[in-house]
Amino acid sequence: MAYNTTYGLTRQSNALGFYLDAGQTSPSQVSRWGYASADAAATVETAGYFNAASSTLGKGDIIEAVLAISATPVNKTYIVTSASGATPVTVGLQTTTAG
């Protein structure tokens, strides 16, 4: 698999999935990103943490993150909740609860 690296995020270069918004006639790509940081989850979850990647991240994109790598690493999955190109970039902790 080929990967592109931007702003410390890694994105798989091929399309992973598509979705349709209400009234949309053609699908939009949803990207899955990998991210690793020594930062704690509480820091990563603040609005604006991913602002440097605002032009790259889209609403609905998924970020698979390994955090606190210099201490006790944790793995968390986030979903981008702000619109593409918007700042601050906001993320929500992905849960398995039915929506």
Residue 98 in any domain: the answer is no
Q: What is residue 68's three-state secondary structure? A: coil
Token output for 38: 């020594």
Residue 17 in any domain: the answer is yes
Residue 99 in any domain: the answer is no
Residue 12 in any domain: the answer is yes
According to the model, what pLDDT value does residue 90 have?
A: 92
Q: What is the arithmetic mean of pLDDT over 45-52?
A: 90
Number of domains in the chain: 1
Radius of gyration of the chain (CA): 14
> Which tens digit of pLDDT belongs to each residue from 77-97?
999 998 788 889 999 998 766
Domain that holds residue 42: 3-93
Query: 35 and 80 in contact (C-beta within 8 Å)?
Result: no
What band does 36 get if pLDDT is binned at 50, 70 and 90?
confident
Residue 20 in any domain: the answer is yes
Residue 40 in any domain: the answer is yes
Distance CA 68, CA 28 (A): 32
